[in-house]
């Protein structure tokens, strides 16, 4: 096992890749009482067409099947309830599916070794039957209907549908009720056997634990599990550079209008080719422009133009997309303010350097929280397939010339706009 220093953070971690390809990252803390672990696969809702392990033909699977599979992994053949098992030691357990990954987590202060073994057991012993799959369909369909009634979820789904032509990113992570009805236990086993292989997975543990004992448990439980020798063949969707739909207005059951803006940009536009570096600079630009302490926020607050405002960059294979969401009584005025801000980006050297210092301070501060450290490493492993152990150094090395060059590369003319308006009440 290799020891690696998380540079400038006064913390070491231990990494190893087993012969079967499983990546292990262990970060033991000396001054904590709690621990946090995640067992994850690089399989999310973006993957809906692939060649199953042991087969030759590429198959289309229902949207939402990765999320459905996550739910069913808590079903044990012997009837054991994982939630009951973990709760006996006051341990939390959960799972989540995103567009590009699925993770199973547990966190607590007691019974570390027993909980690690049981978490590994859950993820490595699938049990699907026609009966338990049918039962889960009802649960998940209710979950989908619940999210369909949440305006923020509607807005995000509609915006992605407007941005992307063919990428599975245009579909909700859970799929639709119709998608769920199509899922079979045979589908679930095919997805599991293809993507829940050690060479497509990793384990991260952070907090109060003995890393040597943790490594031994993982090896004892997983070293005999083999990975397929063949790489996974996944359909490569050729997403066009244009957005699918420029704008759309919808009336739903809300009191205050909401807007969603999506600016789609080809990675070919950017001189920066290193993904980590590119993400840092892109995030720096929008943080200075739209962050909570930005002049833009102050201006639109003073004009009473928003009640909420948030943003993030989204990545699919060939594109970076800036997503902006807001709640506002004046959609057109706020959209115009955002448009003017993006057309006239001019970041002062002093603001850039100040934000770098803020970021570095945040990195130093947040390493003290075990869940935050797990989440950061998890994001690195999914986005970049590696641990970024020098983020503070990378931030420190960011320079104004590169920032300005990237700003000149940004094009905001390829965008989608969604406006959600309150339903009109018709007097009887």
Domain ranges of the chain: 2-222, 247-422
Task: Please name which of 80, 84, 120, 97 lies closest in space to residue 43, comparing C-alpha atoms.
Answer: 97
Average pLDDT, stretch 186-201? 97
Q: What per-residue confidence (pLDDT) applies to 78?
A: 86
> Bridge partners of 319?
266, 316
Residue 284 scores a pLDDT above 70: yes
Average pLDDT, stretch 72-81? 89
Please state the φ and ψ torsions of residue 11, each to the nearest 5 degrees: -150, 135
Average pLDDT, stretch 135-159? 95
Q: What per-residue confidence (pLDDT) applies to 339?
A: 97
Please state the φ and ψ torsions of residue 401, each to the nearest 5 degrees: -65, -45
Angle at 407 between CA 406 and CA 411, to 5 degrees: 100
Q: What per-residue confidence (pLDDT) applies to 370?
A: 96
Question: Measured between alpha carbons, how far is 90 from 93 in angstroms, rounded to an integer?
Answer: 10
> Bridge partners of 254?
none
Which residue in the block uniquely carries the two structure tokens 């359909």?
235
Question: Measured between alpha carbons, how far is 208 from 26 in angstroms, rounded to an integer?
Answer: 11
- Would you place residue 423 in the very low, low, confident or very high pLDDT band (cuts 50, 70, 90)? confident
70 is known as an active-site residue? yes
**Would you call 385 exposed, middle or buried from its count of C-beta atoms within 10 A (0-12, 13-18, 19+)?**
exposed
Which residue in the block uniquely carries the two structure tokens 């020798």?
229
Joined together, the tokens standing for residue 179 give 């998608």
Q: Which helix (H) or strand (E) holds 323?
A: strand 319-327
Average pLDDT, stretch 9-18? 96
Q: pLDDT tens digits for 308-355?
A: 999 999 999 999 999 999 999 999 999 999 999 999 999 999 999 999
Of the residues 3, 55, 70, 111, only one is catalytic, namely 70
Question: Measured between alpha carbons, how far is 404 from 409 in angstroms, rounded to an integer?
Answer: 9
User: What mean pLDDT value characterizes the chain?
Assistant: 95
What single-letter DSSP state applies at residue 50?
E
Residue 424 scores a pLDDT above 80: no
Question: Measured between alpha carbons, how far is 79 from 139 in angstroms, rounded to an integer?
Answer: 18
**Would you call 122 exposed, middle or buried from its count of C-beta atoms within 10 A (0-12, 13-18, 19+)?**
buried
Domain 247-422: assigned CATH number: 3.30.830.10
What single-letter DSSP state applies at residue 380?
H
Please state the φ and ψ torsions of residue 354, each to the nearest 5 degrees: -65, -40
Average pLDDT, stretch 380-408? 97
Let me know if domain 2-222 sits in CATH 3.30.499.10: no
Question: Measured between alpha carbons, how far is 129 from 122 in angstroms, rounded to an integer?
Answer: 16
Q: pLDDT tens digits for 202-244?
A: 999 999 999 999 999 999 999 889 998 788 999 999 999 999 9
- Would you place residue 306 in the very low, low, confident or very high pLDDT band (cuts 50, 70, 90)? very high
Q: What per-residue confidence (pLDDT) applies to 348?
A: 97
Please state the φ and ψ torsions of residue 250, each to the nearest 5 degrees: -135, 145
Q: pLDDT tens digits for 343-391?
A: 999 999 999 999 999 999 999 999 999 999 999 999 999 999 999 999 9
Q: How many Å separate Cα 340 from the centre of its chain?
A: 30
Query: How far lies 359's CA from each of 253, 272, 345, 393, 396, in Å?
Result: 39, 20, 20, 11, 9
Average pLDDT, stretch 88-104? 97
Q: What per-residue confidence (pLDDT) applies to 426?
A: 44
- Would you place residue 427 in the very low, low, confident or very high pLDDT band (cuts 50, 70, 90)? very low
- Would you place residue 428 in the very low, low, confident or very high pLDDT band (cuts 50, 70, 90)? very low
């Amino acid at each position: 096992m290799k020891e690696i220093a998380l540079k400038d953070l006064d913390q070491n971690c231990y990494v190893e890749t087993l012969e079967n390809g499983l990546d292990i990252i262990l970060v033991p803390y000396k001054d904590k009482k709690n621990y946090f672990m995640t067992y994850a696969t690089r399989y999310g809702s973006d993957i809906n067409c692939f060649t199953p392990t042991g087969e030759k033909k590429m198959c289309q699977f229902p949207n939402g099947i990765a999320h459905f599979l996550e739910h069913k992994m808590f079903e044990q053949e012997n009837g054991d309830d994982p939630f009951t098992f973990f709760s006996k030691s006051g341990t939390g357990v959960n799972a989540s599916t995103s567009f590009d990954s699925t993770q199973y987590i547990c966190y607590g202060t007691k019974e570390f070794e027993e909980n690690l073994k049981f978490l590994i057991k859950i993820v490595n012993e699938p049990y699907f039957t026609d009966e338990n799959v049918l039962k889960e369909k009802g649960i998940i369909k209710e979950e989908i209907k619940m999210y369909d009634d949440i305006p923020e979820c509607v807005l995000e789904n509609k915006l992605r549908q407007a941005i992307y032509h063919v990428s599975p990113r245009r579909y909700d992570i859970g799929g639709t009720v119709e998608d769920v009805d199509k899922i079979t236990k045979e589908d679930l086993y095919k997805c599991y056997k293809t993507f829940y292989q050690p060479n497509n997975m990793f384990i991260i543990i952070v907090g109060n634990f003995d890393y040597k004992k943790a490594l031994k448990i993982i090896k004892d439980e997983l070293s005999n599990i083999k990975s397929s020798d063949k790489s996974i063949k996944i359909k490569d969707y050729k997403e066009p550079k244009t957005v699918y739909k420029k704008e759309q207005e919808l009336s739903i059951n809300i009191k205050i209008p909401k807007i969603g803006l999506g600016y789609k940009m080809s990675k070919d536009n950017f001189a920066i080719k290193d993904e980590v570096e590119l993400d840092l600079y892109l995030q720096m630009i929008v943080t200075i422009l739209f962050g909570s302490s930005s002049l833009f926020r102050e201006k639109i607050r003073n004009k009473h133009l928003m009640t909420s405002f948030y943003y993030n960059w989204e990545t699919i294979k060939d594109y970076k997309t800036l997503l902006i969401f807001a709640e506002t009584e004046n959609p057109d005025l706020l959209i115009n303010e955002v448009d003017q801000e993006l057309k006239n980006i001019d970041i002062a050297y002093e603001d850039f350097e100040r934000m770098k210092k803020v970021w570095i301070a945040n990195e130093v501060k947040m390493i003290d929280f075990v869940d935050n450290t797990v989440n950061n490493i998890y994001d690195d492993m999914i986005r970049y397939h590696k641990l970024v152990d020098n983020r503070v150094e990378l931030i420190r090395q960011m320079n104004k010339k590169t920032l300005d060059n990237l700003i000149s590369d940004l094009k905001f003319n390829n965008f989608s706009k969604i406006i959600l308006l309150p339903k009109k009440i018709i007097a009887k």
